[in-house]
Every structure is written in C-alpha cells, then in structure tokens.
C-alpha cells in the first residue's frame, strides 16, 4: 500500500474514533434549592374527628409505583390493570418510543463507514471520429460489465454526525418521558373517574334520602289534614317540594353516565362493551400517610418536567448541529471493482480495478443562511429554557395548591359533618313541633332544605378528599420509577 493510501486510511480511522466518542455539552438545569413548597414547609392537616380518617404529610418520602393500591380497593386495582393493558393513548406512546429508538439507530449509522455493492451491464458503441481521431478502428459495439464493493466514510470537522445522534437520543428521551406522562395521565384519570362515580352515587343516595323525607312530609301533612290541623295548601306545598327535589336526580344520573362512559374509553372499551363497577366511597380506604417528595427530587420525578428537560437537550443538540454545519466535511471513499467485456472474464485478475480518494467540502458563502440557522437554534434554546422553567414553576404551584387543598378538605369535611348532624337534628325537632301544631309547614321545609344542602355537601366533601389525595399522588410523579415495566415498554427499551 502506498504512503498516500496509508495516510488517507489513517485519517479515516482517527476521524472514526473521534466521531464515536461522546460529544455533548448539555448540562441539565440545577434543581431548585427550596426546602419546601410553602414558606412554612408543609401545612398541617386538621383532625376530622368522627367525620373520617385523619391524614398527614410525610415530607421526603417516595410514593409507591402502583399508588392506587393505597386505596385498598380490589375493583379499582382490576380496572387499572385493564386500563394499562388496553388504553389506546398508552399503546400509541409506546409505539412512538420504539420509533424514536429506531431513529437513534438510524442516526448512529452515520458514525460508521458505509459499504455497498454494485453491479451494472451496459451496451456501448465507440466512435473515435466523434472526438476527432481519424484513421483508427471503425466504430464498434460491445458490452461492459462492472461489479464490486464500494466503501465510503464522511465526517465533519465540527462533529456534525455525533450532534445529530445526540439530538436523536434526546428526542428518544423526550418520547420516553412522554410515555411516562401518558401512563401517569391514564392512571390518574382512571382513579379520578372511579372516585367521581363513587361521589355521584353518594350524591344520588343523598337525594334519594331527601325524596324519602319529602314523602314523609307529604304523609305527615296528610295525617294532619285528616286530623283537621292542616290545610289543602299545606298538602300542595309538600307535594310541590317533592316534585322540585325530584328534578335533582336526572342531572346527577347524566353525570354518572358520562363518568362511566369516560372510564370505559380510558380502558380502550366502548360504553356498550364494558360496564364499570359500581364504586362507592365506603369501598375506598383513604390513605392516611401522604408522601411528599422534596422539591429537589420532584424535578427528577414528574414526567412533564423531565419532558421539558429532554426538549431542552434537543434544543441544545440542535445548536450543535447548526454550528457543525459551519465546518468542512470530509469524505473518504474506496472501491475494488471488476470491469470486463465478456461474462467469461468474471473473477479474472486482469479485470480488477480499484480506486481510493478523499473529498473536502467546506462552506464559504451561503448568503448568511448557515449563520442565521445557528442563531435561530440559539434563540430556540432560550425559548425552550424559559418553557422548562415555567413548567417547574407551574409544577411547584400545583403541589402547593394540593397541599393546601388537602388541609382545607379536612376542615371542610369536619364542618360539613357537624352541619349535617345539626341540620338533621333540627329537621327532626321541627317535624315534631309541626305535628304538635307549634310550627308551620314552611318551617319544616326550610329545615329540610338546610338538611338537604348539608347532606349533599357532606357527600361532596368526602369525595373531594379522595380526589385531592389522588391528584397529589399524580403531582408527585405517580412513582413510575418504582413500578415494573410492561412488556411493551421492555420491548421499546425505554432509556433512563
């Protein structure tokens, strides 16, 4: 091998080693140094006494991967299993991750030499007179056969291909976190719909109890009317109240249908093909210990923050790609071919031909396009950085809101419990007073209206604690890093 060829291949080998080396200058933003989500750390959750179970925050504690099991409801666990297996958005996100993984492989192919094999057959006719050569042989027709491998390797002095690989890897990482976000959104939505079903059923039960009270009022008035202590107007008023309260049921039943249909769709089912369980609040166990991650850990747990960080990495790599395009590109090529006129001469050493070369392409003047692309990529990075910072701020604000909400939920439940007991007691006393002729029917209806509001309010207050508890688990990242990967995720080779 000649010294020139050795130098060319030596340069190619050195370039290959450089190209395969890690090449990234991206540094993730630092996590906030806050010790808590509010000036006082975390609020204390008031005790609720006889109204229900007491809750407390456990700052710095990780949440379990399958966080919905903390509600200790087998029917809920079964629904979540079906949802994770059948949800279409989760299937799409898994396939998108697999696609991004293959894109990384495709980009990484540029780090290595390319080897191709070619073959051709041509029918040619020479004519020396056409190029001004007279007196030679007459024109002649013949066949030309060529076959053999060709090798080439291109690299940029600015590290273009490694930056393109880094960009593809960052896109894959982004897609992995979007899959985690889809998983978290799905599990949070399923639990929320289940709690909503339980809440609406509790409200329907409360309204049915109210209607039973209305019917008791009608009977009471009829008894008083028979005894001569009430008037026909009192009976009409009691019947009117019963008819009015019956109008409360259709909207609640519609809400229940919507929640059931939404839950079926989340499972990848049609509303006609799947019927959800009849969840009840009494079936759910309210978690008493609420894990709350430290702010420094939250930024590494929430998929939306991690997705924003991966997008920032993509923008950083795009700056590197735009910068690398300002540098020269070198292509090394070599071929070992056979060229012959007769098929019988194939593999004859006399038919061997070869070539080796190097090509340099350096941008000189592109009308400012390359510089503009670089500046645009830098501006896009600043946009993505601001989006990342806003995502972190919004996440911290959401957690702070939920911490306060759970504290206020306990206070609301306690007051609603007391209000319900007082209203029911007042209603019973007013009815007795009416039967003794010491109160009017309007006083009974007013007491019943207050009792109705207290009863429905208590059902809503109980459900709100469950909903805010589930939302806090989701806001903490849902513990996706602590759960076993599904088979589809394992096939997609989720990067971490």
Query: What are the pLDDT digits (tens) for 291-313?
Result: 999 898 999 999 999 999 999 99
Sign, CA dihedral 130-135-136-137, equals: positive
492 pLDDT exceeds 50?
no
Q: Where in the chain are the domains?
A: 3-113+159-328+369-492
Beta pairing, strands 289-292 & 352-361: unpaired
pLDDT at 343: 83
Give the per-residue pLDDT at 53.
Answer: 92
Q: Which of 482, 475, 33, 59 is nearest to 294 (CA)?
A: 59
The domain 3-113+159-328+369-492 belongs to what CATH superfamily? Outer membrane efflux proteins (OEP) (1.20.1600.10)
Interstrand relation of 352-361 and 329-340 (parallel, antiparallel or unpaired):
antiparallel
For 110, other C-beta atoms within 10 Å of its C-beta total: 17
Phi-psi region of 132 (alpha: psi -120 to 50; beta: other; left: phi over 0): left
304 and 45 Cβ atoms separated by less than 8 Å = no
Average pLDDT of every residue of the chain: 87
Summarised one tens digit per residue, pLDDT across range 69-126 is: 999 999 999 999 999 999 999 999 999 999 999 999 999 999 999 999 999 999 888 7
The continuous run of DSSP H or E covering 131 comes out as none
The pLDDT tens digits of the residues spanning 340-393 come to 888 878 888 888 898 899 998 899 999 999 999 999 999 999 999 999 999 999
Question: Is pLDDT at 129 greater than 60 in this prediction?
Answer: yes
Which pair of tokens denotes residue 309?
A: 């960080």
Cα 340 to Cα 343: distance, rounded to the nearest angstrom: 7
pTM equals: 0.83
Which has more confidence, 272 or 5? 272
Region of residue 75 (left: phi > 0; alpha: psi -120 to 50; beta: else):
alpha
**Taking 80 as the threshold, does the pLDDT of residue 482 lie above it?**
no
Phi, psi of 30 (to 5 degrees): -70, 145
What pLDDT band is residue 484 in, cutting at 50, 70 and 90?
low
Q: What is the pLDDT of residue 19?
A: 43
- Give residue-wise pLDDT tens across range 133-176: 776 667 778 888 899 999 999 888 889 999 999 999 999 999 99
Q: Which residues pair with 38 in a beta bridge?
A: 41
pLDDT in the model for residue 62: 85
DSSP 3-state of 108: helix
The pLDDT assigned to 15 comes to: 43
pLDDT for 408-434, tens place per residue?
999 999 999 999 999 999 988 988 887
C-alpha distances (whole Å) from 211 to each of 214, 218, 279, 448, 452 are 5, 10, 22, 11, 10
CA 481 – CA 173 distance, rounded (Å): 14
* pLDDT tens sequence across 161-218: 999 999 999 999 999 999 999 999 999 999 999 999 999 999 999 899 889 888 988 8
């Amino acid at each position: 091998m000649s010294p020139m060829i050795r130098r060319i291949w030596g340069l190619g080998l050195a370039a290959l080693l450089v190209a395969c080396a890690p090449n990234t200058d991206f540094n993730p933003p630092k996590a906030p140094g806050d010790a808590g989500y509010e000036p006082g750390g975390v609020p204390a959750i008031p005790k609720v006494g006889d109204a229900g179970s007491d809750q407390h925050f456990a700052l710095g504690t990780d949440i379990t991967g399958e966080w919905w099991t903390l509600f200790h409801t087998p029917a809920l666990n079964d629904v979540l299993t079906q949802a994770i297996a059948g949800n279409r958005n989760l299937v799409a996100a898994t396939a998108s991750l697999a696609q991004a993984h293959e894109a990384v492989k495709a980009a990484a192919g540029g780090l290595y030499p390319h080897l191709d094999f070619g073959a051709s057959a041509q029918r040619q006719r020479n004519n020396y007179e056409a190029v001004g050569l007279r007196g030679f042989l007459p024109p002649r027709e013949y066949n030309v056969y060529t076959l053999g491998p060709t090798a080439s390797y291109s690299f940029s002095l600015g590290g273009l291909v490694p930056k393109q690989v880094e960009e593809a890897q960052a896109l894959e990482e982004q897609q992995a976190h979007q899959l985690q976000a889809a998983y978290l959104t799905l599990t949070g939505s399923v639990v929320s719909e289940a709690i909503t079903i339980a809440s609406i059923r509790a409200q329907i039960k409360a309204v049915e109890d109210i209607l039973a009270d209305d019917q008791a009022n009608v009977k009471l008035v009829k008894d008083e009317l028979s005894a001569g202590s009430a008037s026909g107007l009192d009976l009409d008023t009691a019947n009117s109240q019963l008819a009015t309260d019956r109008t409360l049921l259709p909207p609640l039943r519609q809400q229940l249908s919507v929640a059931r249909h939404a839950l079926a769709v989340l499972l990848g089912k049609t509303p006609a093909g799947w019927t959800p369980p009849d969840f009840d609040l009494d079936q759910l166990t309210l978690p008493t210990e609420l894990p709350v991650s430290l702010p420094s850990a939250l930024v590494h747990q929430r998929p939306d923050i991690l997705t924003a960080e991966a997008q920032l990495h993509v923008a950083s790599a795009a700056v590197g790609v735009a910068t690398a395009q300002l540098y020269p590109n070198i292509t090394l090529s070599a071929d070992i071919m056979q060229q012959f006129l007769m098929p019988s001469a194939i593999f004859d050493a006399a038919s061997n031909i070869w070539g080796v070369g190097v090509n340099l392409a350096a941008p000189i003047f592109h009308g400012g396009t390359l510089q503009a692309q670089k500046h645009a990529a830098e501006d896009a990075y600043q946009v993505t950085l601001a989006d990342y910072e806003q995502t972190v701020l919004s996440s911290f604000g959401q957690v702070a809101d939920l911490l306060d909400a759970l504290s206020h939920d306990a206070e609301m439940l306690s007051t609603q419990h007391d209000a319900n007991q007082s209203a029911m007691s007042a209603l019973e006393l007013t009815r007795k007073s009416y039967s003794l002729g010491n109160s009017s029917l309007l006083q009974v209806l007013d007491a019943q209206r207050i009792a109705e509001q207290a009863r429905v309010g208590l059902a809503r207050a109980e459900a709100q604690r469950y909903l805010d508890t589930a939302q806090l688990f989701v806001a903490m990242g849902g513990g996706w890093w602590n759960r076993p990967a599904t088979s589809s995720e394992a096939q997609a080779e989720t990067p971490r």
